[in-house]
């Protein structure tokens, strides 16, 4: 099993290319099930989750081809162009052995119901960071006329005669359920109005792609989205938006180590709340013609309190990284997690490096320390694992991060990108 070894102490200087967003690429790939034409996606990142979803889509009959260089020869940050064609849906069952490996694969239930009027999808797996129930998905699809039962660990759904437009209000904001409702309602008969919808940039990206395929969606990026169902969707070409979580992660790494790095191919508007918190902590952030510049030279790290919240609030997917940064702050910071109840599993691993963190319910009190010390640590989930890398970049001596397969699910060639900016970091295979 691969590990990552880091020797801390080097400031980061240079340029880091930002990849296409995993959280946008996955629903966009699933949208290929909605049409028998070809959907071409540009800027698709090289990630384990992308490869797993390709296998899952293949199980349903989706063919794919890759344009240009493949993973083995492409440079860091150069996303692929992949053509997906679901000419014929050969199987409407998404089996446990595939879905259990990645939660987002559950989202195929929306397109399969919309196009084939039936679906049998295993209850999902993914990171163990909270319950994340599928009730919101089920209730939303039932509002569109789906008949849904749970049988032996599978959601069995049918929509005889097709889905029908309706008004549905989410009792709680859910990015995944909003993705599914957008795709399902695109082929439903009549108008669908989704209230209390997620507002994340990835929702907007999916809506733009669906509209390019012939859907009629208005209001994406607001809490009320209106979809006029159409009889069929066509193919399209769409570029995956930049990864705001990767952007924020590297920005926090620069703030942690000091230095001066240009994050290329990204946009500050995708994560303004997080960047504001970084600025308050002492980092300088400026727009560039093709991204942003992040630097911290000489000044210390100031403590900043943050509360995670759905977009445009502080992203839960950057909470662990910001906590790592706060371990070196000059004072005490409080970090409150409101999205997932089990998303403090990185605390005990950061403590192994010398961090002083105490928990009270869903709030972490982080008392900054003058130094961290390298040690073996264990990645517990995708975002927690990269927080350990950030801490290791400034820790004295050697830090070894185990179980880095979590990292490979969401960060494209992380050690190469950091190494190119001066970090002493390497992957150890086996």
The DSSP result for 63-76, as a single string, is EEEEES--TTTPPT
Same domain, 266 and 220: no
- Greater confidence (284 vs 408) lies with 284
- Is 167's pLDDT higher than 50? yes
- Residues with catalytic roles: 127
Same domain, 230 and 330: no
Residues 311-360 pLDDT 10s:
999 999 999 999 999 999 999 999 999 987 677 889 999 999 999 999 99
Same domain, 250 and 298: yes
Same domain, 204 and 143: yes
- Is 129's pLDDT higher than 90? no
- Greater confidence (381 vs 185) lies with 185
Residue 134 in marked binding region:
yes
| Domain CATH for 124 | 3.65.10.10
Domain containing residue 322: 3-18+242-428
- Is 76's pLDDT higher than 50? no
Same domain, 228 and 293: no
Residue 132 in marked binding region:
yes
On the CB side of 84, CA atoms within 13 Å amount to: 32
Residue 135 in marked binding region:
yes
Residue 299's pLDDT band (cuts 50, 70, 90) = confident
Residue 389 in marked binding region:
no
- Of 239, 260, 285, which closes a domain? 239
Whole-number Å distance between alpha carbons of 67 and 80: 7
Same domain, 149 and 199: yes
Residues 227-258 pLDDT 10s:
999 999 999 999 999 999 999 999 999 999 99
- Is 285's pLDDT higher than 50? yes
- Greater confidence (11 vs 131) lies with 11
- Of 202, 223, 239, which closes a domain? 239
Same domain, 231 and 280: no
- Greater confidence (203 vs 79) lies with 203
Same domain, 14 and 50: no
Residue 164 in marked binding region:
no
**Cα 401 to the center of its chain, rounded Å:** 21
Mean local confidence (pLDDT), 399-413: 91
Residue 69 in marked binding region:
no
Containing 356, the helix (H) or strand (E) segment is strand 356-360
- Is 307's pLDDT higher than 80? yes
Residue 117's pLDDT band (cuts 50, 70, 90) = very high
- Greater confidence (68 vs 297) lies with 297
Mean local confidence (pLDDT), 391-414: 93
Residue 189 in marked binding region:
no
Mean local confidence (pLDDT), 63-75: 65
On whether the CB atoms of residues 80 and 73 are closer than 8 A, the answer is no
pLDDT of residue 70: 47
Q: Strand 3-7 vs strand 424-428: parallel, antiparallel, or unpaired?
A: antiparallel
Whole-number Å distance between alpha carbons of 149 and 426: 48
- Is 130's pLDDT higher than 50? no
pLDDT of residue 1: 80
**In this structure, what DSSP letter does residue 316 have?**
G
SS3 6: strand
Residue 175 in marked binding region:
yes
pLDDT of residue 88: 97
Q: Strand 191-195: give its sheet, edge to edge.
A: 167-169, 191-195, 224-228, 216-218
- Of 185, 207, 239, which closes a domain? 239
Mean local confidence (pLDDT), 400-426: 93
Same domain, 189 and 40: yes
**In this structure, what DSSP letter does residue 308 have?**
B
- Is 71's pLDDT higher than 60? no
pLDDT of residue 101: 81
Same domain, 117 and 227: yes
Same domain, 248 and 305: yes
- Is 409's pLDDT higher than 90? no
Count up the domains in the chain and report the number.
2
Mean local confidence (pLDDT), 210-232: 98
Residue 240 in marked binding region:
no
Q: CA-based angle 217:223:228, to the nearest 5?
A: 20
Among 114, 58, 53, smallest CA distance to 90 is for 58
Residue 365 in marked binding region:
no
Mean pLDDT, the chain, whole residue set = 93
Residue 17 in marked binding region:
no
Least confident of 62-71, 382-391, 398-407: 62-71
pLDDT of residue 430: 73
pLDDT of residue 382: 74
pLDDT of residue 410: 87
**Cα 272 to the center of its chain, rounded Å:** 17
Residue 133 in marked binding region:
yes
pLDDT above 70: percentage of residues in the chain: 95
Least confident of 8-12, 46-50, 172-176, 406-410: 406-410
Same domain, 288 and 379: yes
- Is 126's pLDDT higher than 60? no
- Is 19's pLDDT higher than 70? yes
Mean local confidence (pLDDT), 279-291: 96
Among 166, 161, 174, 111, smallest CA distance to 142 is for 166
Least confident of 74-88, 122-136, 183-197, 366-380: 122-136
Helix axes 201-212, 22-30, angle to 10 degrees: 30
Residue 173 in marked binding region:
yes
Mean local confidence (pLDDT), 384-392: 93
Residue 37 in marked binding region:
no
Whole-number Å distance between alpha carbons of 260 and 343: 30
On whether the CB atoms of residues 265 and 240 are closer than 8 A, the answer is no
Residue 294's pLDDT band (cuts 50, 70, 90) = very high
Q: 143-148: long-range contacts (C-beta < 8 A, 24 or more apart)?
A: 143/167, 143/168, 144/168, 144/181, 144/184, 144/185, 144/188, 144/192, 145/188, 146/113
Task: For residue 54, give every residue at least 6 positions away whose Cβ sits within 8 Å of its Cβ, in sequence order, or none.
Answer: 29, 64, 82
């Amino acid at each position: 099993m691969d590990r990552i070894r880091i020797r801390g102490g080097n400031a980061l200087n240079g340029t880091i290319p930002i990849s296409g967003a995993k959280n946008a690429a996955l629903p966009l790939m699933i949208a290929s099930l909605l049409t028998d034409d070809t959907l071409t996606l540009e800027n698709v990142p090289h990630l384990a989750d992308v490869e797993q979803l390709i296998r899952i889509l293949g199980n349903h009959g989706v063919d794919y081809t890759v344009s240009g260089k493949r993973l083995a020869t492409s440079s860091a940050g150069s996303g692929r162009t992949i053509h997906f064609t679901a000419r014929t849906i050969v199987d409407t069952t998404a089996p446990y052995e595939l879905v259990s490996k990645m939660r987002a694969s559950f989202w195929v239930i929306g397109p399969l119901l919309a196009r084939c009027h039936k679906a049998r999808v295993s209850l999902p797996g993914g990171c163990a960071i909270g319950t994340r129930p599928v009730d919101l998905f089920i209730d939303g699809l039932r509002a569109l006329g789906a008949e849904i039962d749970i049988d032996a660990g599978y959601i069995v759904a049918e929509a005889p005669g097709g889905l029908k437009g309706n008004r549905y209000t989410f009792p709680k904001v859910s990015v995944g359920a909003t993705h599914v409702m957008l795709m399902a309602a695109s082929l439903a008969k009549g108008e669908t109005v989704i209230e209390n919808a997620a507002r994340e940039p990835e929702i907007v990206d999916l809506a733009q792609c669906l509209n390019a395929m012939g859907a009629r969606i208005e209001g994406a990026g607001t809490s009320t989205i209106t979809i006029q169902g159409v009889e069929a969707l066509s193919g399209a070409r769409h570029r995956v938006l930049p990864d705001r979580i990767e952007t924020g992660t590297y920005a926090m790494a620069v703030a942690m180590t000091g230095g001066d790095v240009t994050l290329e191919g990204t946009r500050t508007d995708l994560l303004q709340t997080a960047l504001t918190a970084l600025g308050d902590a002492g980092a300088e952030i400026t727009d560039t013609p093709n991204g942003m510049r992040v630097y911290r030279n000489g000044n210390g790290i100031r403590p900043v309190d943050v509360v995670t919240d759905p977009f445009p609030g502080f992203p839960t997917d950057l909470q662990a990284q910001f906590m790592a940064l706060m371990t070196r702050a000059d004072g005490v910071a409080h970090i409150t997690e409101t999205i997932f109840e089990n998303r403090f599993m990185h605390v005990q691993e950061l403590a192994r490096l010398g961090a002083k963190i105490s928990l009270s319910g869903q709030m972490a009190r982080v008392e900054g320390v003058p130094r961290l010390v390298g040690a073996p640590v264990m990645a517990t989930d995708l975002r927690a694992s990269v927080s350990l890398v950030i801490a290791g970049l400034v820790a004295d001596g050697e830090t070894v991060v185990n179980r880095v397969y979590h990292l490979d699910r969401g960060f494209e060639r992380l050690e190469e990108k950091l190494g190119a900016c001066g970090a002493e970091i390497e992957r150890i295979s086996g």
